[in-house]
């Protein structure tokens, strides 16, 4: 999922992206010389850097580290092994600043929209009217086109005609729950652009999380929702050419 998000963030800059999946398990790096390598700091990061160098890579390596991996990442930067470090989850604004710095003097790469700007289309499936009001209030300052569905079946119907850029899906709903609605959407969108679906649930047990992700949902948030968490989701999952910023700042 993180790889897909990164590729979606980088593609509009006109960059060719290759993915090195399961780099810790023995798979060789993709052939060729790269202008930049984004490398996760999971276990075996030093070995992966060695394998990149053995494969002939001489360009900058940018590390992506969670909070508990920052110390290791910063030590590699201090040793001159890596060019810098980004905190996970990687925000688009931070990624742009790094690209601008590594581009050197001149005009940094900028995403070029291929269509006129428009509000970000969001579908929120939530059967509780009070929760709908709270959700709308949290996002009222953002430049979005927000529509609500009262149940999973209605969410699928609205998705078909509204074509949202992002879906927030409550899990416990009448008629059709959020997992079944997501499976229906995933089946119908096969071969087309995949819409990110963010689950909203009051439960956070491991079993529930596994069931949610298995239905094709990309991520889940637990209730009560926080505005900062919603804003971070918009920042991460919004299409590159659409601004998730507050409307007065856009």
Residue 120 near residue 234 (C-beta atoms within 8 A): yes
Q: What DSSP letter does each residue of 142-180 carry, written as one string?
A: B-EEEEEESSHHHHHHHHHHH--SEEEEESS-SSS-HHH
pLDDT at residue number 42: 72
**2-102 homologous superfamily:** Response regulator (3.40.50.2300)
pLDDT at residue number 206: 65
pLDDT at residue number 12: 67
Residue 157 near residue 187 (C-beta atoms within 8 A): no
Q: Which residues of 162-186 are buried (b: 16+ CB within 10 A; e: fewer)?
A: bebbbbbbbbebeebbbbbbbbbbe
pLDDT at residue number 117: 63
How many Cα neighbours within 13 Å face the side chain of 153? Answer: 3
pLDDT at residue number 116: 47
Domain residue ranges in the chain: 2-102, 120-237
Tallying the residues shown for the chain, one arrives at: 250
pTM for the predicted model, two decimal places = 0.54
29-58 pLDDT, tens digit per residue, is 777 678 888 888 877 787 888 888 777 777
CATH fold group of domain 120-237:
Rossmann fold (3.40.50)
pLDDT at residue number 249: 45
Same fold: 2-102 with 120-237: yes
Other CB atoms within 10 Å distance of the CB of residue 37: 20
Q: Which residues in the chain land under pLDDT 50? A: 107-108, 112-116, 248-250
Token code pair at residue 11: 């593609």
């Amino acid at each position: 999922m993180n790889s897909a998000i990164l590729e979606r963030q980088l593609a509009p800059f006109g960059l060719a992206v290759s993915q090195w999946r399961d780099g810790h398990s023995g798979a060789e790096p993709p052939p060729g010389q790269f202008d930049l390598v984004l490398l996760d700091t999971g276990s075996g990061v030093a070995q992966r850097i060695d394998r990149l160098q053995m494969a002939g890579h001489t360009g900058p390596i940018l590390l992506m580290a969670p909070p508990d991996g920052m110390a290791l990442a910063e030590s590699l930067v201090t040793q001159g092994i890596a060019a810098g470090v980004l905190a996970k989850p990687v925000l688009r604004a931070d990624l742009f600043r790094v690209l601008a710095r590594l581009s050197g003097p001149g005009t940094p790469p900028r995403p070029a929209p291929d269509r006129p700007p428009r509000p970000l289309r969001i579908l929120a499936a939530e059967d509780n009217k009070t929760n709908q009001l709270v959700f709308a209030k949290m996002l009222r300052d953002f430049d979005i086109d927000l529509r609500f569905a009262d149940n999973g079946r209605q969410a699928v119907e609205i998705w078909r005609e509204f074509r949202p850029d992002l879906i927030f899906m409550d899990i416990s709903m009448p008629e059709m729950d959020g997992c079944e609605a997501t499976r229906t959407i995933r089946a119908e969108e096969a071969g087309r652009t995949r819409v990110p679906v963010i689950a909203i649930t009051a439960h956070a047990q491991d079993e529930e999380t596994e069931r949610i992700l298995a239905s094709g949902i990309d991520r889940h948030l637990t209730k009560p929702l926080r505005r900062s968490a919603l804003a971070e989701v918009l920042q991460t999952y919004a299409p590159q050419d659409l601004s998730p910023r507050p409307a007065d700042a856009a």
